[in-house]
Structure 1
Amino acid sequence: MLPYVALYEYIHKQVEHVMNQDESKQTIYDEYKNIVLSPQLTDKVFVEVMNNYFYDMGFINVSLKALKEEEKQVGFRVRATKNSLVVTEVIDDIRFVVGDEIKKLSGDVIDYCRKRYHRILGDTPYHREDWNHILTFQNSVDIERSNQEYHFDLRLFKQTNESSVSVYTKDDVPIVEFKGNITFSQAVEALYELSKIQSSNREMIFDLRNASFNKVNIAEFLLPYFYEIGSREKIDVSDMEIEIEREKHKMLYKKKLERYFKQSEEMNDQSFYQNLLDQPVGNWKFFDDKIIEIIGMSRFDCVTVMIDKDTEQAAEWLVDKVSPSKIVKTVGRPTKGNTTFNELVDEIIDQRFILTFPVENMKNIKYRDAIYPTELIEWSKRHAIIDLDIKFTIDNSC
């Protein structure tokens, strides 16, 4: 096993391309190098130290985790208000109910915990904080439910990072919901299922509130479906300030794919996918001259894109590029706030750790603020019970 200081130096070399060199960064580097020289260090502590190091250095999308130690979660997800954490989703621990308000963590009120975990939470407003990781190292919670108070010891469950795409209708409005880091094939499947929906409504919803896919080819594939069918568009991507040359396309959407989608009603699944697979493989850069040329393919007159603080990476970049479309409106809350995303890779180090980091040179990139929606809907406790974003969109159709 390599000593921690050797791992520290190697990891720094792997990720230093995302850093602008200055004296303050060198000081941080030296301080953390002294920390990892400690003989009391363990693998678990080393992971925490390195993630703190990434935070202090301002590294975006860089993280370290143990290889053989499974990631854990507490069986439910929360969202912060000023004085409590509201349960928004129950995953495994059925003792909790959506809408429960957590008032204390391990006996401490939320305001005190907010100060204690400031390094993890950052300087973001409370309604944009992410407490789900912090919950994993708590012993217990005190909750309020229907004016009754309860105390629960927390349990840990295996973390499942499943991604999903759902296509359904509500009040005759087609909705495509993306969750997590979806794959390219899931994106294709979603649009195929959307093409089969028979709806008289000329409005549809793309729900990207929990979308965090990090592959640029997914965003590029989806772009045409936010622009009026037949319109020719050029999307400027010069803000990325990086040269991107990736693996060849396996599925090109272009005119051939457009024709397949139009014919999908007369084709069975097997022939549809075979036609997709038969498309020529493109040996070309995704962003030639930092411009994407597309042909609009939306069969809807109005496309509502729902966004929130968990809309990030390529999904957030996609929102930024489709917002100018005259048939698009955005609803919800501001996105994550890093529209210049990059492809991420995982590297196993010393058979003990997994380092996740961007492969592109990021030195000259200027990070933007979050993307703000056309219609801002402040998050409230009622969102845990009723999807007010979808209700608002359907009630206020284009």
Structure 2
Amino acid sequence: MANSLVANRTYQFMVNMTHRANPYLQASGYLLVKVENARSQKVAVGCVIATMCSRKGEFQYINPNTELALFSSLVNQTGLQNNITWNVYLGMMNSSSDTQNWSLFTEMDDYRDIWFFGANRSHFTATNELFLTYRNIKFWRFEVVYMSMTEKSSSALHFEINQPPKSGICSITPSNGTITTKFTVICKNWTDQDGIKDYSFYAWTTHVEQRVILGSTISSVFELLLPVGSGNASLVNVIVQIRDQLNSVTEANISAVSVVLTRTNIDSFIKAIKISSTVPSKHPLVELLSKNNSVLTGQVITTVSQVLNEMNTEIIRLGIQNIASIFVSPLGSREIPMVSFLYRLYVHEESVHLKIFIAFMEYIYLQSVHTTIER
């Protein structure tokens, strides 16, 4: 094909591959080539996190709920000083030619350092607000231009929005329980053209940004333990993330459930560990740990740690309250022994609490080692 391409034109090259043994297995690949009558440097461009940009033909698949982080570099560094500019294009499908018509996104400057970061650097980031705001746009083109005093080079990646799983629901039963109650989450009717990859479960009480992961599974039915709820109703909020095979995610909020603290179970568990590092096999928490299920073990650790953290917060609150209530004597007067006593008491309580937490983690570790040896 030497000398057969005309300058200032864009050519699309396509290759079709068919499996020799099974002709029904086929794949296609595309490449767009713009011909310019000029010597230019080669520019490489790609996704910073490759797994978040799954390849699909001539496009990269991207999840609209995540940000896009790109990098660029000169393949053969010439030592010339380059100015870097990133451009964003919207793509509309041309049904007659089965190609995209690209239009420059003219509002890029308006959202600099809001949606777009690093527009004049080798690394560029576009937040998910771009894709969520323009939900009707399915195709995007991100182009980087390197320009020196004598040369201009560019490279681009084309993206197709990977639609997340849809049309399903998730529910949880029972609607209330304790920290040793096994709640069951059932997700059904979720569909995605790429197939469902897995389900991840999160819980939070007061602030969603403090949510903790409870586990992940390929099954649409999942048993889990929940941490103690907050407020008078002891409510816990549960979120399920449904992910497809190309890592596009959608979130399903489940009705809040009431989870109350059974301090007798926690207190007896802690007391037994403090005394002998052995807990009766019939204890509810020990029965859960004996299941040899790493997910359940992680949930027990999360639940007990939450209770211990709340106990520690209460110790700190009472310590500050007691110290703050002490009368401050005038300068030069005799020291009040009560100050020293209350401080020592606070330090002692903190030390005891720390030893409890260490004993708990040691117990969990020894249990896991024992389980491994048995296997």
Q: TM-score, normalised by structure 1?
A: 0.18
Q: TM-score, normalised by structure 2?
A: 0.19
Higher-Rg structure is 2
